[in-house]
Amino acid sequence: MTRREVSVVILSDLHLGTYGCHVRELLDYLKSIKPESLILNGDIIDMWNFKKNYFPEEHLKVIKQIVHLASKGTKVTYLSGNHDDLLRKFGDIKMGNIQVQDQLFLRISGKQYWIFHGDVFDASIQHAKWLAKLGGKSYDLLIRINRLLNLLLERFGKEPYSFSKAIKAKTKKAVSYIQSFEEVACELAINKGYDFVICGHIHQPTIKDVVLPKGRVRYMNSGDWVENLTALEYSYGEWRLHHHYLPSREPSDAGKEDQMTTSTLLDLL
C-alpha cells in the first residue's frame, strides 16, 4: 500500500475501548498515511467507559499501528483529555518517539500554535465529574443504539441517521455550548498571542478564522472517530480537514475531499 506523506496529522476523540469507535475505518486511515508528526489530542483510550471484557483485538491493532508509525520515524505526541485524564497524574512522559503531555506549543512556518484537548472549559467536568461520566456512558449507549438503527437502514437501502447530531442541531443549549467553547478557546489564544488554537473534546470538526475585539485567530477542531471520522492534516503550507468516508457511502462521494475554508462546520456522517 502506498502511504500518503503528510507533515502533521491531528486526531482526537478516538474513544478506543468503547462500542462507538469506528475502529476499522480508523485503522484503515492510519495505514494510509505516513506523517512526520502525529498529534493525538485527547480521549484516545476511553478510560471512563473502559470495560475489562471489552477491548477487541481491532482496538489493540490501532495502538500497535501508532507504535509502528513511531518506530518508523513518526513523532507521536499524546495529549491527555478528560476520558484519559489518568495520564495527567504522571506529567510529561517520553518513550522513544512517543511523548505524553497535557498541551503542546508549536511554531510552524513562523506561526504560533496552541494545541490542547479543551475539557478545561467544560464546567461539568471541572465541578461535577460524576455527572460528566454519567453523560459519557449515556452517550456511548446512544451510539450503540444508533449503530443498530443504521444497520437496519443500510439493509433497506436508506441513508444513515445520527441521533446525537440531530439532538445537537435542534437543541439551542447544545449549539450555545459549542459556540461558547470556541469563543473561550479563541479569546484565550488571542490573549496569549497565538495565531492558531487547536482543540478536540466537542466532536465538532472545523477550520475557521475567528475575529474578536482583541484580535484574530484561526480555530481548528479535529472532530472525532465516533460520528465524524475526521482528521486535521497539514501539508505544503496548508491545513485541511480530511474526512474518512464510511464504506456505505456512494462511490461518487468517496473521492470528494473537504476543502479548508474560513467558516466551515462540516455536516458529516
Mean pLDDT for all residues in the chain: 80
Q: Is the pLDDT of residue 74 over 60?
A: yes
Q: Which amino acid appears at position 250 of this protein? A: E
Question: Nearest CA to 8 among 97, 118, 108, 110?
Answer: 108
Residue ranges in the chain assigned as alpha helix (H): 23-30, 57-71, 123-127, 129-155, 163-170, 172-192, 251-254
219 — pLDDT class (breaks 50, 70, 90): very high
Average pLDDT over residues 2-18: 94
Predicted confidence at residue 110, as pLDDT, reads 95
Tallying the residues shown for the chain, one arrives at: 269
What share of the chain in percent tops pLDDT 70?
72
Domains of the chain: 4-265 (3.60.21.10)
Encode pLDDT of 196-209 as tens digits.
999 999 999 999 99
Predicted confidence at residue 19, as pLDDT, reads 82
Q: Which residue has the higher pLDDT, 196 or 81?
A: 196
Q: Which amino acid appears at position 200 of this protein? A: G
Q: Is the pLDDT of residue 52 over 70?
A: no
Predicted confidence at residue 38, as pLDDT, reads 98
Q: Is the pLDDT of residue 195 over 80?
A: yes
Three-class secondary structure of residue 86 per DSSP: helix
Using CA atoms, how far residue 261 sits from 109, 208, 265, in Å, is 19, 6, 9
Q: CB neighbours (10 Å) of residue 1?
A: 5
Average pLDDT over residues 177-200: 92
What Rg do the C-alpha atoms of the chain give, in angstroms?
A: 18
Average pLDDT over residues 24-48: 93
Element of type H or E holding 37: strand 33-41
User: Degrees (nearest 5) of the Cα angle 34, 35, 40?
Assistant: 125
Would you give the DSSP letter of residue 105?
Answer: E
Q: Is the pLDDT of residue 135 over 50?
A: no
Asked if 224 contacts 200 with a C-beta cutoff of 8 angstroms, the reply is: yes
Q: Is the pLDDT of residue 143 over 80?
A: no
Encode pLDDT of 148-172 as tens digits.
767 777 788 887 766 566 555 554 4
Encode pLDDT of 94-129 as tens digits.
989 999 999 999 999 999 999 999 987 654 434 344
Q: CB neighbours (10 Å) of residue 51?
A: 10
14 — pLDDT class (breaks 50, 70, 90): very high
**Cell digits for 106?**
508549536
Q: Is the pLDDT of residue 132 over 70?
A: no
Average pLDDT over residues 59-65: 95
267 — pLDDT class (breaks 50, 70, 90): very low
